Amino acid sequence: MIAEIGHFALILALMVAVVQGTVPFIAAAKNHMGGMRLASSAAIAQFLCLAVSFAALTHAYVTSDFSLLNVVNNSHSLKPLLYKVAGVWGNHEGSLLLWVLTLTLFGLLVAVFGRALPPGLKSRTLAVQGLISVGFLIFVLFTSNPFERIPVPPLEGGDLNPLLQDPGLAFHPPMLYLGYVGLSITYSFAVAALIEGKVDAAWARWVRPWALLAWVFLTGGIALGSWWAYYELGWGGFWFWDPVENASFMPWLIATALMHSAIVVEKRDTLKSWTILLAIVGFSMSLIGTFLVRSGVLTSVHAFANDPERGVFILLLLMISIGGSLLIYAWRAPNLQGGGYFKLVSREGALVFNNMLLTVITALVFLFTLAPLIFELFEKQITVGPPMFNFFFVPLTTILVLALGVGPLLAWKRGDWADAKRRLRLALLLTLILTALSAIVVWGRDAYALVGVALAIWLTLAVIVEMAKKAGWPRQSLSGTLRRAIRLPRASWGMTVAHIGVAVVIAGATGASLLTVDKTLSMRPGDRTTIAGFEIEFTGAEEVNGPNYIALRGHYTAYADGQAVSRFEPERRRYIANGQQTTEAAIETHSWYDLYVVIGDQTKNGGYVTRLYHKPLAPWLWLGSILMMLGGILSLTDRRLRVGAPRRAAAPIHQPAE
């Protein structure tokens, strides 16, 4: 009964979406206020319908209602409650439902918080959202209905893929979807602006918070996924350039570019058609990401179902939505008038450079991700591994980070190169000294690691220099600079914190990939071995029963200078429902390093395969990601984004205290 209510709400949502996707367009063209207001009501109604539908499916999972095909295939009554709930989106049908729910959530947010928007722009934006909804709801209802019943309900379900039964992964998809789908708002804003033929500073100011919000969630989603891979896959990697990882990384890169180029539109009234294109491409990348995961076009660990019928449907959806918006772009964008003139050495110049690099990186990631597919069309098989991605990604990112240190120091319109150089001289010198010091610490490990360390130090110092400049240094005394720095607008703080986050992530990535020490050996109870100054003792292993798995649990103790400092209990789990195995690494996190222990199969001599890793700076990856998100959130709470007129000039220092 409850499942039928969910199904019915879904059909109702489709009808509401059809209204939302058509009426406001006509009303906006005829300047009919009532028709335009309908867009907001429809957006709220659509969200409510989907909330009911989603709640119904969640109810079916929580109560293990095995009369639903979707629940049978993806749940098990022994599964802990958290994973029963997470199981709702751990499969094709449910994740699509979550996708549409998120889409309507953003529609609701625009309807409720977009009071200041001009009615024409608002109703057209919501109408574009409505059309996206129509496409996806048809897809859900006709090819992937999560509420399908089966005539003979079995007693037990097939369980959720055990790799997905993990707290990190339980929240990874919703977070990532908030990011993916958040980009639909900037997309809808872009298409609405193209239809209206008007892109100005005000438009950029409305779009930027949405781009920021989507970016914050994307950052969080990607970081969660990476964290999960780090501790669950059991070989200590955090990024594998897997097609689906790339599918989330590309929208992130574009969203990053969009956030920055929207600043130029807002402050300088130029780069308009480029910004519009980024907004369209950002969401397109999300859609392509969805397509890549769902269709099985690219072989990946994440693929849910290989079903060409669904694939063709998503492809069609993709071509209509992206193709349609790009056609409108080709028709309208040439008429957008660019405003401000600027020198090459200026804030605009630096932001254009940032955009160019980010776009080139995205294009290369895209090409390398799709290379196997393109080669397959010519009957050839290739695999593109991480070394090929790193080959272009590392140098391009290096240039990006070097420039990132300088860019914010340049003024709008015409930057002062000599002043920037003078201010950065000390930062450069300090970078060289600190890098030389780190060279002594990590001597003989990996020369490339020093490049990463140097970049992280450089960026941190350059960010501090920029903050000091904004706060009045060197005209002010040290204490005066500090006092003013605290009172800088939150957007400035947001930028500072996010950029430092980038530096911390670079340091973490360098440590986790280039400075790692690892050791694989067979250990018998009582055996001892050393790694990076620690002595590790294997005290034994036992079999333990979990709620829906049986695990082999190893016991290890780490000693430093003869003192026991930590204990490790890595597990190797075997899930009852389908016999799949997972590894649960035991990780001890310290501020400067992770110690990481994995237990494997039993060997012939009675020992267990044990892998040990010492990963310097690895926890900084997650710390840096959190800083980046925090920066985004700080920026979002800046009152200039909430109220007030667009400003033409850079932020003045004497901002009223908040």
Partner 1 sequence: MSKRVFFLVPFLVLFGLGVAFYFGLFAAAERGQRVIPDAMVGKPVPNFDLASYRSDQPGLNTADLKGQPQLVNFFASWCVPCLAEHPLISKLAEEEGVIVNGIGYSDTPENIENWLKRHGNPYARVGVDETRRIGVDWGVSGVPETYLVDAEGKIVFKYGGPLTRQVIKEEILPLMKGLSR
Task: Give the integer Cα–Cα distance in Å for 618 and 224.
Answer: 14
- Nearest approach in angstroms of CB 264 to partner 1 is 19
Comparison of 157 and 511: residue with beta carbon closer to partner 1: 157
Comparison of 36 and 322: residue with beta carbon closer to partner 1: 322
Comparison of 11 and 330: residue with beta carbon closer to partner 1: 330
> By CB under 8 A, is residue 319 in contact with partner 1?
yes
Give bridge partners of residue 536 from the DSSP assignment: 529, 558
Comparison of 56 and 191: residue with beta carbon closer to partner 1: 191
Comparison of 319 and 344: residue with beta carbon closer to partner 1: 319
- Nearest approach in angstroms of CB 77 to partner 1 is 9
**φ, ψ at 200 (rounded to 5°):** -140, -175
Comparison of 153 and 600: residue with beta carbon closer to partner 1: 153
> By CB under 8 A, is residue 579 in contact with partner 1?
yes
- Nearest approach in angstroms of CB 168 to partner 1 is 25
> By CB under 8 A, is residue 308 in contact with partner 1?
yes
Give bridge partners of residue 553 from the DSSP assignment: 542, 571
**φ, ψ at 546 (rounded to 5°):** -100, 180
Sign of torsion, CA 65 66 70 73? positive
Comparison of 377 and 440: residue with beta carbon closer to partner 1: 377
- Nearest approach in angstroms of CB 165 to partner 1 is 15
- Nearest approach in angstroms of CB 323 to partner 1 is 6
- Judged by CB under 8 A, the number of residues near partner 1 is 48
- Nearest approach in angstroms of CB 76 to partner 1 is 8
- Nearest approach in angstroms of CB 363 to partner 1 is 10
Task: Give the integer Cα–Cα distance in Å for 196 and 154.
Answer: 55
Task: Give the integer Cα–Cα distance in Å for 387 and 180.
Answer: 27
Comparison of 58 and 74: residue with beta carbon closer to partner 1: 74
Comparison of 288 and 491: residue with beta carbon closer to partner 1: 288
> By CB under 8 A, is residue 374 in contact with partner 1?
yes
- Nearest approach in angstroms of CB 324 to partner 1 is 9
Give bridge partners of residue 609 from the DSSP assignment: 522
**Stretch binding partner 1 (CB under 8 A), from 89-97, 264-272, 457-465, 576-584:** 576-584
Q: How many CB atoms lie within 10 A of CB 3?
A: 21
User: Taking the CA of residue 261 as centre, how many other CA atoms within 13 Å lie in the half-sphere pointing to its CB?
Assistant: 26
Binding mask 132-171 for partner 1 (x = CB under 8 A): --------------------x-xxxxxx------------
- Nearest approach in angstroms of CB 382 to partner 1 is 14
Q: Tell which residue, 271, 257, 266, has the closest CA to residue 357.
A: 257
- The structure tokens listed for 79 are 């599964």
Q: Which of residues 501-520 bind partner 1 (CB under 8 A)?
A: none
> By CB under 8 A, is residue 295 in contact with partner 1?
yes
Task: Give the integer Cα–Cα distance in Å for 634 and 439.
Answer: 35
The CA angle 79-87-214, to the nearest 5 degrees, is 140
Binding mask 330-369 for partner 1 (x = CB under 8 A): x--xx-----------------------------------
Q: Which letter, b or e, does each residue of 185-199 get, where b requires 16 or more Cβ atoms within 10 Å of its Cβ? A: bbbbbbbbbbbeeeb
Comparison of 112 and 550: residue with beta carbon closer to partner 1: 550
Binding mask 72-91 for partner 1 (x = CB under 8 A): ----x---------------
> By CB under 8 A, is residue 207 in contact with partner 1?
no
- The structure tokens listed for 574 are 């075997």
Residue 566 three-state SS? strand
- Nearest approach in angstroms of CB 373 to partner 1 is 5
Task: Give the integer Cα–Cα distance in Å for 334 and 279.
Answer: 16
- Nearest approach in angstroms of CB 334 to partner 1 is 5
Helices (H), 233-297: 243-268, 272-295
> By CB under 8 A, is residue 577 in contact with partner 1?
yes
Comparison of 99 and 329: residue with beta carbon closer to partner 1: 329
Give bridge partners of residue 541 from the DSSP assignment: 554
> By CB under 8 A, is residue 311 in contact with partner 1?
yes
Residue 649 three-state SS? coil
Comparison of 152 and 643: residue with beta carbon closer to partner 1: 152
Task: Give the integer Cα–Cα distance in Å for 40 and 36.
Answer: 8
Q: Which of residues 534-553 bind partner 1 (CB under 8 A)?
A: 545, 550
User: Taking the CA of residue 369 as centre, how many other CA atoms within 13 Å lie in the half-sphere pointing to its CB?
Assistant: 26
Comparison of 576 and 626: residue with beta carbon closer to partner 1: 576
The CA angle 141-143-147, to the nearest 5 degrees, is 50
Q: Which of residues 469-498 bind partner 1 (CB under 8 A)?
A: none
Give 77's contacts (C-beta < 8 A, 6+ positions apart): 64, 156, 157
> By CB under 8 A, is residue 373 in contact with partner 1?
yes
**φ, ψ at 445 (rounded to 5°):** -90, -75
Give 199's contacts (C-beta < 8 A, 6+ positions apart): 193, 265, 272, 273, 275, 276, 336
Comparison of 374 and 432: residue with beta carbon closer to partner 1: 374
Task: Give the integer Cα–Cα distance in Å for 175 and 141.
Answer: 24
Under 8 Å between Cβ of 561 and 574: no
> By CB under 8 A, is residue 578 in contact with partner 1?
yes
- The structure tokens listed for 122 are 């608002």
**Stretch binding partner 1 (CB under 8 A), from 121-129, 319-327, 436-444, 460-468:** 319-327
Task: Give the integer Cα–Cα distance in Å for 346 and 230.
Answer: 40
- Nearest approach in angstroms of CB 93 to partner 1 is 18
Comparison of 26 and 319: residue with beta carbon closer to partner 1: 319
- Nearest approach in angstroms of CB 412 to partner 1 is 27
Q: Which of residues 264-293 bind partner 1 (CB under 8 A)?
A: 273, 277, 280-281, 284, 291
- Nearest approach in angstroms of CB 276 to partner 1 is 10
Q: Is the peptide bond before 24 cis (omega within 30 degrees of 0)?
A: no
CA distances in angstroms from 230 to 193, 208, 336, 622, listed in the order given: 42, 32, 46, 11
Binding residue for partner 1, selected from 15, 326, 451, 521, defined by CB under 8 A: 326
Could you tell me the maximum CA-CA distance found in the chain, to the nearest angstrom? 83
Comparison of 381 and 605: residue with beta carbon closer to partner 1: 381
Q: Tell which residue, 453, 459, 393, has the closest CA to residue 627.
A: 459
Interface with partner 1 by CB under 8 A: which residues?
A: 76, 152, 154-159, 273, 277, 280-281, 284, 291, 295-299, 306-308, 311-312, 315, 318-319, 322-323, 326-327, 329-330, 333-334, 370, 373-374, 376-377, 545, 550, 574-579
